[in-house]
């Protein structure tokens, strides 16, 4: 392939812009906020599930407390009735009186047991409610941090997108001033060579692969006409020999 030395030099400018574009794209993809946002969203989902579970526990314990309170009512009412009968002297038969006193003692023990159950359920409910409140507060704090991260990410992305647009415009202008077949060759080489399709010959070193040419290869490069598009024998990239 033939191309004017000036056009070959233009490939170096095109390569520089393409390298900058690749660097900006990498920065855009590698913003730490991306990973932080993903982690924040994961935590938010986990907290959401935990809040639902905690709310279920609170609901179950509320029912348990209500049941404990309901179980106490008839027992307390019966104990109060029996105590009134005892206090008022309604029962005079010794056997019935003994049975009444025994029942009152039994009811008192039963009330004590039920109150213990009620107290335990209320304590569990208090702990579960506190846990639910803590999880809700954690989610609210996480949402605030997540919104801040997203805002910071979006601001940086916008700035990088603006830089990319500027660099791509510059690239299009440079490419438009170069021969189509030369740009096509450069692009194909770059696609299979890590984004670098051209390098300047600096002494004996290829600017693309950074390897030094053998004496015979260097002699071949130097002997080729100035408008020959020379390829590096090591990496196959376009090798620009022109000065400037």
pLDDT of residue 227: 95
Q: How confident is the model at residue 159 (pLDDT cuts 50, 70, 90)?
A: very high
Asked if residue 106 and residue 54 are part of one domain, the reply reads: yes
Residue 147 scores a pLDDT above 80: yes
Tokens of 198: 């051209």
- For the chain, how many structural domains are there in total? 2
**Domain termination site, one of 176, 208, 226:** 176
Q: How confident is the model at residue 243 (pLDDT cuts 50, 70, 90)?
A: low
User: Domain of 97?
Assistant: 31-176
Asked if residue 203 and residue 92 are part of one domain, the reply reads: no
Tokens of 53: 């579970």
Tokens of 52: 């639902």
Asked if residue 170 and residue 61 are part of one domain, the reply reads: yes
Asked if residue 39 and residue 10 are part of one domain, the reply reads: no
pLDDT of residue 35: 97
Strands of the 230-231 sheet, one edge to the other: 205-206, 198-202, 238-240, 230-231
Q: What is the mean pLDDT of the chain?
A: 95
**Domain termination site, one of 176, 192, 221:** 176
Asked if residue 55 and residue 15 are part of one domain, the reply reads: no
Cα separation, 68 vs 66, whole angstroms: 5
Asked if 164 contacts 24 with a C-beta cutoff of 8 angstroms, the reply is yes
pLDDT cut 70: percent of the chain above it: 99
Q: How confident is the model at residue 244 (pLDDT cuts 50, 70, 90)?
A: very low
Asked if residue 183 and residue 171 are part of one domain, the reply reads: no
Task: Give DSSP secondary structure letters for 189-210.
Answer: HHHHTTT--EEEEETTEETTT-
**Domain termination site, one of 176, 193, 222:** 176
Cα separation, 138 vs 130, whole angstroms: 12
Cα separation, 118 vs 70, whole angstroms: 10
Q: How confident is the model at residue 211 (pLDDT cuts 50, 70, 90)?
A: very high
47-84 tens-digit pLDDT:
999 999 999 999 999 999 999 999 999 999 999 999 99
Tokens of 131: 């846990």
Give strand pairing partners of 239. 199, 230
Task: Give DSSP secondary structure letters for 138-173.
Answer: HHHHHHHHHHHHHHHHHHHHHHHHHHHHHHHHHHHH
pLDDT of residue 47: 97
pTM: 0.76
Between the alpha carbon of residue 26 and those of residues 155, 223, 242, the distances in Å are: 16, 40, 31
Weakest-pLDDT range from 41-50, 63-72, 89-98, 141-150: 89-98
| pLDDT (average), residues 135-151 | 97
Q: Which string of b and e fits 16-53 if b means at least 16 CB within 10 Å?
A: ebbebbeebeeebeeeebeebbeebeeebeebeebbee
Asked if residue 152 and residue 197 are part of one domain, the reply reads: no
Residue 178 scores a pLDDT above 70: yes
């Amino acid at each position: 392939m033939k191309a004017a030395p000036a056009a070959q030099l233009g490939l170096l400018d095109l390569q520089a812009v393409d390298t900058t574009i690749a660097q900006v794209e990498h920065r855009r993809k590698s913003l730490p906020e991306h990973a932080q946002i993903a982690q924040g969203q994961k935590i938010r989902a986990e907290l959401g599930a935990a809040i639902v579970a905690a709310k279920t526990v609170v609901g179950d314990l509320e029912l348990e407390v209500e049941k404990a309170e309901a179980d106490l009512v008839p027992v307390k009412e019966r104990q109060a009735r029996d105590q009134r009968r005892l206090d008022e002297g309604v029962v005079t038969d010794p056997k019935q009186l003994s049975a009444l006193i025994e029942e009152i003692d039994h009811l008192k023990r039963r009330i004590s047991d039920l109150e213990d159950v009620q107290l335990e359920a209320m304590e569990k409910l208090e702990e579960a409610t506190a846990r639910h409140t803590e999880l809700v507060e954690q989610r609210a704090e996480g949402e605030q941090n997540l919104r801040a991260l997203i805002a910071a990410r979006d601001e940086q992305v916008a700035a990088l997108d603006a830089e990319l647009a500027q660099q791509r415009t510059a690239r299009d202008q440079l490419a438009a001033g170069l021969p189509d077949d030369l740009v096509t060759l450069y692009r194909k080489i770059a696609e299979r060579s890590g984004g670098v399709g051209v390098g300047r010959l600096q002494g004996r070193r290829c600017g693309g692969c950074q390897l030094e040419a053998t004496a015979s290869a260097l002699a071949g490069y130097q002997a080729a006409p100035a408008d020959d598009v020379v390829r590096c024998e090591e990496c196959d990239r376009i090798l620009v020999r022109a000065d400037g």
